Structure 1
Amino acid sequence: MHNSTSALPVEAIRDASRRLVRELGFMKPTLAGTRLPASAVHALIEIGDHGIHSASALCEVLQLEKSSVSRMVRKLIEAGEAMETSSQQDAREKQLALTVKGKQTLAAINQFARIQVCRALENIPSSTHGTVKEGLGLYAEALATVRKNVSLPVSTVFNDLSIQCGYCPGVLGRTIEMHAHYYSRNAGFGHFFEAKVASGMADFMGRLDAPRNQIWYAIKDGKIVATIAIDGEDLGSNIAHLRWFIVDDGLRGSGMGRRLLKEAVSFCDEQQFSEIQLWTFNGLDAARRLYEDAGFALIEELTGRQWGEEVIEQKFSRPRPITLSSSYSAE
């Protein structure tokens, strides 16, 4: 962290941020050509496009208080844009979904936004489009990191944390626990998903002694707080399967995920796998940025229910580099 901000373009970035807010229409009472406020527009996008199906998950994604989200959801339901249904896993838990009207509104919002972005990009050289995309993404992620770790200096994030690999007591249960809690809150997954993670990991742990299988985990204050695994056997054809990548809430955005991913990718290159594959689903934007930074590309997308709930499933792949270096960096 710099001791002085004099060398940083702080005022220019502040000015550009204010202009973005104004030009995108966030100063107006409604947004994106609708009669809805900005928070409601974002809620429709998260529910319809990103698979956020619970009010608690909306609170986290939109960074709003529970009472504010409850009022907003109630208004969307009253307007016929959204509806609540009982969870298949727990009848006491309400799941959010868009109505036919809500889906039509979302389609109009997306069309409005795409036209807005396309018209803006037409006014700058095409060679700079990638720079705009990367810059906005990096800045948004950096702001999120500050929000989540506002009192935690970067230099101290990993002082009492270590990365280890191989079996250790509790790694199976802790990995399942972190997955169950995170995906219940953020995707509405229930007991089917938790059981699937548990059965898959139980099978994998029985094969962990094989030289091309490995699991890494970060330990902080004696507790496992992040995991990632490479299954070198289940896909065959010399393809590595990246599985069970999860970072606990307290370390999300700290860079720990990037470190673990680096360990896993380096292992695959050392083992000379021809390719690494992983499955995820649409809406996990922070994870997707990590994958793409590490050389993964989206190669398949389809609607499926392999985790128990219907989501847009995504398959990513990273071919082994033609020329391998002794160290891999995802920075």
Structure 2
Amino acid sequence: MSSVLVILPDKQFPMSPNTQVIQDIRSFNRFYTKTIGLLNQHILESDLSLSEVRVLYEIGQQARATASQLVTSLQMDAGYLSRMLKKFEKKGWLIRQQSNMDGRTFFIQLSAAGKRLIAGLNERSDNEIQRLIEPLTEAQQLQVTKAMQSVQQLLTDPSSQALPEVTIRHNLLPGDVGYLIYLHGVLYAKESGYNLEFESYVCKTFYEFLPGYNPAKDRIFLAIANGQIVGSIAIAASSRHLVQLRWFLVHPDYRGQGLGKRLLNEAISFCKEKHYQKIYLLTTSMQQTAITLYTKTGFRKTGEKFLKQWGQELYEQRYDMELV
């Protein structure tokens, strides 16, 4: 029955706050602020506060900033910003230029002195970062920057973060089966409510399969992203003409991208290449999304029976596809 593709609507499983994730983020925040020195009142050996430096940097980034634009981009109180800008202007770091189109609007730019100030702050900031990453190898430095980019992209716009490229691997390596058993146990427990007996069942199916595993007639397809298994499907030969589709699974993070269909099509293509005549699979009535994919691909239900197993009451269903 391990051919079930685990895809269920999110609304069936109410979300609860992830306490561990929250604690991990708070722990990282404490580490990060301590590491870069943001707990100090003044930064980069200047008499400026963090907020003041943020404003100066933002003005330097914009060719012709206005006070209202700065309030929006920095999400800062307008009165607080106004007092800050007056201070900067008094020190000679800013230039105000009245708009030719609207006399009520003033554009704010850095003066030559302001630009020199920012240049000095940038240099000191670069030096601090260099000292921070100097103990790391080049590969570790790249790992840190990629992680920072991911955090920024995900917290700014989760939909903008592209998933890593997925490749399909056919050969089994040490640890693959153990990880597949782990994925089945964790995901089916979370999404279908299966108990420990299901993981025992998956172990048993692999135990029966592996001694007779022959790549010439059997095939396991593993979807790999960032070196990790994120999906699987297998064809196990039952006879010269009949094969079983097994261990069909897609990690939740990679659903909705067509990966399940891609794996299923590759499995069917292998069966046709080997001139098998029929494919069958066992699933349960709980897996409606998977069943829809099966039927659209050409499988038809050929049997059903009621069972109480894995802590659930369900209908085991058999689906077959004729290849000739």
The alignment's TM-score, normalised by the length of structure 2, stands at 0.50
Larger Cα Rg: Structure 1 or Structure 2? 2
* 1:60 pairs with 2:10: yes
State the distance in 1 between where 2:207 and 2:8 align. 32
State the distance in 1 between where 2:158 and 2:321 align. 34
1:280–1:315 CA contact under 8 A, matched in 2 = yes
- Give a deviation string over 1:208-229, Cα, whole Å, max 9, x none: 2252111010111111111111
Pairing partner for 2:282 from 256, 276, 279: 279
Q: 1:166 to 1:203 in 2, by over 3 A?
A: farther
Pairing partner for 1:179 from 184, 187, 197: 184
Superposition misfits of 4+ residues, deviation over 6 angstroms? none
* 1:188 pairs with 2:138: no
User: Structure 2: which 5+ runs fail to align?
Assistant: 1-6, 18-156
* 1:231 pairs with 2:236: yes
- Give a deviation string over 1:133-177, Cα, whole Å, max 9, x none: xxxxxxxxxxxxxxxx96157xx54x5221110212221011111
Q: 1:63 to 1:308 in 2, by over 3 A?
A: closer
Shift of 1:60: 3.4
- Give a deviation string over 1:167-207, Cα, whole Å, max 9, x none: 12221011111111111122221121101101211321222
- Give a deviation string over 1:49-97, Cα, whole Å, max 9, x none: xxxxxxxx99933364449xxxxxxxxxxxxxxxxxxxxxxxxxxxxxx
State the distance in 2 between where 1:161 and 1:256 align. 8
State the distance in 2 between where 1:181 and 1:151 align. 25
Pairing partner for 1:204 from 203, 209, 216: 209
Q: 1:241 to 1:262 in 2, by over 3 A?
A: same
Shift of 1:312: 0.8
User: Structure 1: which 5+ runs fail to align?
Assistant: 1-56, 68-148, 323-331
Percent identity (aligned):
31
1:166–1:208 CA contact under 8 A, matched in 2 = no
Pairing partner for 1:253 from 252, 256, 259: 256
State the distance in 2 between where 1:162 and 1:62 align. 30
Aligned to 1:312: 315
| 2:11 counterpart letter in structure 1 | V
| 1:281 counterpart letter in structure 2 | T
Shift of 1:311: 1.0
Aligned to 2:266: 263
Shift of 1:238: 1.9
Q: 1:276 to 1:59 in 2, by over 3 A?
A: closer
Structure 2 counterpart SS, 1:245: strand
Aligned to 2:219: 214
